[in-house]
Amino acid sequence: MEKIVFDTPTIVLGSGSPNRAKILTENGIPFVKKLIPIDEEHLNATIKHHGVSKAFAKRYVKMLAIEKQKPFVGNVENGAVITADTVAWLDGVILEKPLTKERCKTQHEFISGKKAHAMTAHAVYFNGKAASCVKVSVIGFEKLPPPLIEEICNEPATLQCAGYCAGGAIKNYMWWKKNHANNNRGLDVRVVRKLLKKVGFNVSSTYPYPS
């Protein structure tokens, strides 16, 4: 790819997620969006998703965020690139974006009446330095009636959401462990702020992150 050079330190969102862009915008964080797709389906297919530990799932989602960052390494100057990925882990199973209505139905029948761990990996790269971490949240689900699952599976946003989507028809059937609800949309700006500082990005008043 052609090298991207910024005149002043700039935050770059390396994600196609509209939710992540919305979160940065809602928090008054200026950024530019640059997306370099990777073959996620291939990565997903090469890693087992059943019979795995919570620690394995954390390593997996962190690997995905770092893989999304790799195309930017050495190709961006003066830009702090943020990449992220989210999965859910439940009873030894890694759950990703449903993508299809059939998979959406199966996944929501599986999580009905249970607790899941939503895992969001954050990765930041800035001028040769990289940092990453995984934020884990506990989400509980009430029993999901079949008509509700049918409604959920007809929501396009839900098909593209892992971890799980907190909007739409399911929102009144979910609960979070105390202080975990902030991680339900795929990006925690407090975590991003810490990672930016770690790689030497000057988080000034121009970037008013919440503390």
| pLDDT by residue, tens only, the chain of 211 residues | 678 899 999 999 998 888 889 889 988 889 999 988 777 777 777 899 999 999 999 999 999 999 999 999 989 999 999 999 999 999 999 999 888 999 999 999 999 999 999 999 999 999 999 999 999 989 899 999 999 999 988 988 788 777 666 567 888 898 877 555 555 568 888 899 999 999 999 876 445 444 3
Buried-exposed string 121-133: b where 16+ CB fall within 10 A, e elsewhere: bbbbbbeeebbbb
HSE value, Cβ hemisphere, 13 Å, CA-based, for 27: 21
Domain assignment of residue 54, yes or no: yes
CA 111/CA 142 separation, integer angstroms: 9
- Residue 128's CATH number: 3.90.950.10
CA 14/CA 27 separation, integer angstroms: 18
Domain assignment of residue 119, yes or no: yes
CA 40/CA 24 separation, integer angstroms: 24
Domain assignment of residue 22, yes or no: yes
Split into its structural domains, the chain has a count of 1
Give the residue numbers spanning the domain of 19: 4-198
Domain assignment of residue 116, yes or no: yes
